[in-house]
Amino acid sequence: MNIDREKFLKQGFLLVKNVLSPEEVEHYRNIAYRTIDEDAAKGKMFMHRYAKNHLGCLSNIKEFKELILDDRVVKIANEILGERPAFFGDSIFEIGIGSRGFHKDTSERKDPNHPDWTEDYPIIRIAFYLEDHKKHSGGLKVRMGSHTTVKTNEGKAIILPTEPGDAAIFCLRTSHAGNAVRSKLFPNLSLHNSLEKRLPKFLAVPEEKERVSIFLTYGLKSGALDRYMDFMMNHKIYQQRINESEYPPELINEIENKIDFINIKELYAKHLATQA
């Protein structure tokens, strides 16, 4: 497994091939569908921009907890971040169509003089797309080197050619967009969001199968991570996710055997107490 940290630092993202086996890809697809069915039965299935989401932290689901702590995933996070990574509960999966259009995931997205842009930003997202996007639509677009600017229209836009089992890693400052549409005429050309929306179906390469994507976030203890967690605690959807998550002592011990852990649920309780 080749993890080129220098390449990541230069371009703001990295594609690591064949992290999961075909059997594991199918396993996680099945777990995602099973979880959503269980959520729907409980009246807790959450829709976000046409995609089905599980609200709570994925560490509360045995199979996804194993992925969060998988030696291969931890190795990626460790080598990209350069130190022992921390997990703080930011983990989701989606089934279906997510957001389109280039955006950033930092707490501050407009002010170039904000510490999020003037200081190091050691927070990364590791994404697994559990279907083919090398030849099909529905994958991830990124802009080369865009982690160095607040502007979302700078940097060459490319569609990452992810195949099932690949890990796509990107800095939260990197401009990225989901659900890329490949044109049959120019399949490797990243189309503008407005063109994607207007492209006739007969000219678009279809998705291989329904999109199932997993997003795991890791960071280093830092001012950037403090600000990002504060952003989470003041954001309605993240508040719902935190409320639906549990971190019993045995889970915390299991996480801390592999990586650092920050209990955002405890932090959120303290945050609420200061607002009372």
Q: What is the pLDDT of residues 101-138, one digit of tens each?
A: 899 999 999 999 999 999 999 999 999 999 999 999 99
- pLDDT, tens only, 170-183: 999 999 999 999 99
* Per-residue model confidence as pLDDT tens digits over 65-101: 999 999 999 999 999 999 999 999 999 999 998 777 8
143 C-beta neighbours (distance < 10 Å), count: 25
What residue spans define the domains of the chain? 5-275
Q: Does the pLDDT value for residue 1 go beyond 80?
A: yes
E-only strand ranges, the chain: 13-16, 46-48, 51-53, 86-87, 91-96, 123-129, 141-143, 157-159, 167-171, 176-177, 212-219, 260-261
Q: pTM of the full predicted structure?
A: 0.96
Question: Cα angle vertex 231, ends 276, 32, to 5°?
Answer: 110
CATH number of 5-275: 2.60.120.620
What type of residue is 52?
Answer: K
